Amino acid sequence: MKNLVVLSGAGVSAESGISTFRDAGGLWEGHDIMEVASPEGFAANPRLVLDFYNKRRAQLHQVQPNEAHFCIAGLERNYQVQVITQNVDDLHERAGSSHVIHLHGELRKARSSNNRYEIQDCLGDINLGDLSADGSQLRPHIIWFGEEVAAMDEAIEIVSKADVLLIVGTSMQVYPAAGLKDFAPSTTPIYFVDPAPSLDSHGRLHVIKEKAGKGVPMVADLLSF
């Protein structure tokens, strides 16, 4: 089967009720981004940061995958599908996608504060005093500003072998993830689903001006011909 690579972002999860990463004022759930998404913020107020992500993790129990998630999973019937997501939720997996790479980490995992490779499952809260196996404070397994996106090399390798590339739920303005599309082979068709696209269709780029829940099934229909 052909390789179909999906690059997904916050717009996919937004239709399930998960807030996008930051609002027009640069805040995330009312917090300055650097307070809750940077090593400096964690060092300054670890209790605030842990509580912030505990609430995000708890929210996952209240939401469900939407049509876009299920449609992407359904594409596995005809394609070798690999999802590269900027989202930290587990909705792609819960919808049935078999191969998902999380560029920015996962809410349902925790890791050592001293060793980014010391990772464990985390379904409940992380509290001050909860320690990793190496004796350091546990922290959310989230890639914060200023931290290396460790999965980028693997993501680049996957995109470089894509027969079809689907970009959905992301403006592709945030680097390094935004640069991934440039690694697709020159002959690979690219489908870009966005309700307010910054690009127009041209050549191999096909722009679908819709939200994820409507646009992804449209792409699936196009690919079935």
* DSSP-assigned states of every residue in 42-104: HHH-HHHHHHHHHHHHHHGGG----HHHHHHHHGGGTSEEEEEES--SSHHHHHT-S-EEETT
3-state secondary structure of 32: strand
**Largest CA-CA distance found in the chain, in angstroms, rounded:** 56
Instruction: Reply yes or no on whether 104 is catalytic.
Output: yes
3-state secondary structure of 153: helix
Helical (H) or strand (E) element with 141? strand 138-142
Q: Which two tokens stand for residue 28?
A: 């995330």
Write down the catalytic residue from 69, 92, 102, 104: 104
Q: Which residues are catalytically annotated?
A: 104
